[in-house]
Chains A and B, each alone.
Chain A
Amino acid sequence: MRYLESLNLALDQIMSDNQNAVIIGEDIKDPYGGAFKVTKGLSSKYGHRVISSPISESSIVGLGIGLSLNGFKPIVEIMFGDFITLCADQIINGASKFPWMYGSNFDLPMIIRTPMGGRRGYGPTHSQTLESLFFNIPNIKIISPSIFHDPGQILKDTFYKMKELNLFIENKISYPNEIILKEQVDDYNISIINNNTEFVTLSLVFDRQTRPDIVLLTYGGMSNICFEVARDLFIEEEIIIEIIIPSLVKPVPFSDFHESIISCGKLVIVEEGISICGWGSMITSNLNDELFDSLKAKPVIVGSKEFPIASSRKLEDKILPQKSDIKKAILKIL
């Protein structure tokens, strides 16, 4: 099953099982079914609960907040993640604050789904990974499944667990990819390593008996690229890498990879967003004493360079993190 299909089926099931679920977004109605087709078929089945809205990102998020405050469970689609900038006020000064600042304990269950990521030559305003804008905003969860997760299941988990605003980040270039629902891929074992956290964190290792040389921490669309790197480096250099892929991006599920870092001591963090003040920075600057003391080398963060993302695929490649960048980082701290 493809990433896209998994999400589409999950939305379908959410809508059919929950009369209070609502989907709002631009161009999401059939026959078009959304710019990336994630909502295809839903408007035909669920009528007025699928609202195809005007081009008003800020207002549709606000509409969703109001619906949520008044008993519904809205899922708002922002067509391209880049346009989340238009929703910043509603997210930051609205949804994320209401229950707390009103001194109340009501929930504000809501999902904003949006695709992020480049590598398709969409250029500076349609390729970014912008979830980091919200890393230091309290009371927002950021969730992003990879192809190794069951993205539809993660979306359903998000829907059923949500008490606050959830940003659900999908990766554009993952939409057509087959998801990996097996426990093994190319001799790598995939296992869930959750430690009382709500959302699945995966660990991919060649064999569980041998201690890995490096822990590679990543999420979303970088996960498959990291997997290719790990495979290559094993074949070429016999380097053993454990790849850890949380689906919960913020708050960082530290306890899930605590053991792995303690026993390995070498950490490379890979993200598609700009590496300055991004996910890697958030993780490395918040390691607890035990984790910090266990490090045998300074962790390396691999991400995008500080440029807008170019349209030319060749130039875009120089800006977004590549397999070669990850390899270099690994060899550096090995």
Chain B
Amino acid sequence: MKLLDTLYYKILLIRKFEELLFSLFEKGKLSGTTHTYIGQEATGVSLIENLGPNDIVISNHRCHGHYLSKTGDVVGLLSEILGKKNGVCKGRGGSQHLYSKGFYSNGVQGNMFPVSAGIALAEKWKNSSNLTVIFIGDGTLGEGIIYETLNMISLYKIPILIVVENNQYAQSTPIKDNFAGKIIDRLAGFSIRVEENETTDAEFLYHRYKKLIKSIKLLNEPRIDIIHNERLGPHSKGDDERSSEILNKIKEKDPITVLKKKIDLITQEKIEKEISILLSKALDKVNKMENSFNLY
């Protein structure tokens, strides 16, 4: 597949996967919670598209997009979220607590931050060329452990890529009520190189991350990358207080809308069809899974 087609495919897969989750919620077939990546997919997809199988991705509560980008494991994730014993974490972790080789997520804000530093430090000590990437949200910058860890990452020159996904909100609270100063100014205080961009353009991000990752691997040093964007969906489910006016504005920056302008219609339709078939087959398969648990 051509690059743009691949990016479109991966973003659309996440979007349709998560829309499917919402519809399952509505039908009462899904319990618990879920935090969708809707509107923000370009960041994770274009970054992870640049990673190799041995690179490591560490995520947070909003992890489905990162997980699918890293593993492509639709059935494993869907069955996990649907509470099946054949889920990728045997139904124990659910939406926010995912693991697969080279992928970890946890539902406690900031909890994985020092853990990712340890994982990256181990890679450094092993002289490997594997990159560790950690995603955190803007709201998570309220946790003190972030600053403890940034200090150590800088002191010990731990090669890690820290991606701050600033979607302007922490749950219900807009960033202006949560965050004093500017993110970039605050993070600049650790002698770690930091850059910021406001974009949902997957093509641009892909080429940017290609360069950035090359540079990190070459210099063996930490980097912080801030992406400003906005989530299109609710924080979790049905908990969005923003007006439709605001949401319509955000829709103009929908990464899917942005990409569609660059891909011909026939290809778009082909990809859409492919994903629709893939997801309905996956759902069928998951629905048929036998589901009795043994506690061990």
A54 touches B111 (CB 8 A): no
A59→B145 contact, CB < 8 A: yes
Q: Which residue of B lies closest to A61 (CB)?
A: B114
Interface of B is mostly: helix
B residues less than 8 Å from A61 (CB atoms) = 114
B122 & A66 in contact (Cβ 8 Å cutoff): yes
Known: A56-B151, A61-B114, A72-B125. A66 touches B119 (CB 8 A): yes
How many residues on chain B are close to A (CB under 8 Å)? Answer: 36
Give the complex CA separation of A186 and B115 in angstroms.
49
B155 and A90 within 8 A (CB): no
| Chain A positions 80-108 with a Cβ under 8 Å from a chain B Cβ | 89-90, 93-94, 97-98, 100-104
Alpha-carbon distance between A48 and B115 when the two chains are bound, in angstroms: 19
Q: Is B91 an interface residue (CB 8 A)?
A: yes
Residue pair A66, B99 in contact (C-beta under 8 Å): no
B184 contacts chain A at the CB level, 8 A cutoff: no
Q: Which of B89, B113, B121 contacts A103 (CB 8 A)?
A: B89
Instruction: Assess the B91–A103 pair: CB atoms within 8 A.
Output: yes
Whether B126 contacts A71 by the Cβ 8 Å rule is yes
With known contacts A89-B111, A90-B111, A53–B92 Cβ distance under 8 A = no
Report the minimum CB–CB distance from B265 to chain A (whole Å).
42
Most buried by A among B93, B115, B126: B115
**Does any Cβ of B come within 8 Å of A51's Cβ?**
yes
| B156 interface contact, C-beta 8 A | yes
Measured CB to CB, the closest approach of chain B to A283, in angstroms, equals 24
A103 and B122 form a contact (CB under 8 A): no
Chain A residues 38 to 78 lying within 8 A of chain B, measured CB to CB, are: 48, 51, 53-54, 56, 58-72, 74
Q: Are A62 and B115 in contact (CB under 8 A)?
A: yes
Q: Given the complex, which residues of A lie within 8 Å of B277, measured CB to CB?
A: none
Is there an interface contact between B92 and A69, defined as CB atoms closer than 8 Å? no
Is A103 a contact partner of B87 (Cβ separation < 8 A)? Answer: yes
Given A63-B121, A94-B106, is A102 in contact with B89 using a C-beta cutoff of 8 Å? yes
Q: Are A103 and B152 in contact (CB under 8 A)?
A: no
At the interface, yes or no: B88 with Cβ under 8 Å from chain A?
A: yes
Which residues of B from 162 to 204 have beta carbons under 8 Å from A? none
Partner of A102, one of B92, B123, B145: B92
Query: Once the chains bind, are A67 and B89 in contact (CB under 8 Å)?
Result: no
Question: What are 24 contact pairs spanning A and B, CB under 8 A?
Answer: A51-B156, A54-B152, A59-B113, A59-B148, A60-B114, A61-B114, A62-B149, A63-B117, A65-B118, A66-B115, A67-B118, A70-B119, A70-B123, A71-B126, A74-B118, A93-B106, A94-B112, A94-B115, A100-B92, A102-B104, A103-B89, A103-B91, A103-B92, A103-B99
Q: B residues engaging A (CB < 8 A)?
A: 87-93, 97-99, 104, 106, 108, 111-123, 125-126, 144-145, 148-149, 151-152, 155-156
Given contacts A67-B121, A72-B125, A101-B92, 9 further A-B contacts (CB under 8 A): A58-B145, A63-B115, A63-B121, A74-B118, A93-B106, A93-B111, A94-B111, A98-B104, A102-B92
Top 8 A-B pairs, shortest CB-CB distance: A66-B118, A62-B114, A103-B90, A102-B99, A70-B122, A103-B89, A56-B148, A59-B148
